Amino acid sequence: MEGISDSGIFHRWMDLFWTFREPEVVALLTPEEKGYLREFDWRPIEGYPHISELPDDDLSKLLPSATQLLLSLEKRTRPSFLSRCWRKTVTLFRLQ
């Protein structure tokens, strides 16, 4: 993608796989997670309305909010302690 910044290329790739563009998915997020999502501050590239970039092309600024969002989502979707223990027990007995 000639003439497009690194953050523009990253945004295009992210745009293809990013589910948080869908209102139904965003509605499932907690207020804290929505806050992390708002920190992804993209601006459209002139001449390419479907591609955006970061104002200063610094992708490292996304890392703190992306890390927090990932940790929060992992914590919410991780099986409970009892469920994890049960799975290990079942697996152990299947091996013998």
* pLDDT under 50: residue ranges of the chain: 96
| pLDDT, mean over the chain | 84
- Structure confidence at residue 44 (pLDDT): 85
The domain limits of the chain are 6-95
* CA–CA gap between residue 96 and residue 83 (Å, rounded): 21
> Can you list the positions of beta strands (E) in the chain?
43-45, 48-53
Single-letter residue type at 29 = L
- Structure confidence at residue 95 (pLDDT): 57
Query: What are the tens digits of pLDDT across the range 2-17?
Result: 778 888 888 888 878 8
